[in-house]
Amino acid sequence: MIRIVFLDPAKVEMADAAVYYEAQADGLGFDFLAEVERAIEHVKEFPESGQILRSGIR
């Protein structure tokens, strides 16, 4: 199975975004994180669907 790694700064940015969205509307932060999870699952299921950025990195 494909391994997806988020660097610590990306994790912090994602958490900050969720807090921001939650402050805008109840449940929006949760919806944001659910959409991130959905995107991660899509990448796991279709790992070659993304644009190639450089050798071995999509």
pLDDT tens-place string over residues 9-47: 999 999 999 999 999 999 999 999 999 999 999 999 998
Q: Which of 33, 12, 11 is nearest to 22 (CA)?
A: 33
Report d(CA 18, CA 41) in Å as an integer: 19
Residue 2 has pLDDT above 90, yes or no: no
Q: What is the pLDDT of residue 55?
A: 84
pLDDT of residue 30: 98
Q: In the prediction, which pLDDT does 26 show?
A: 98
Cβ within 8 Å of residue 29, ≥6 positions away = 17, 18, 19, 20, 21, 22, 23
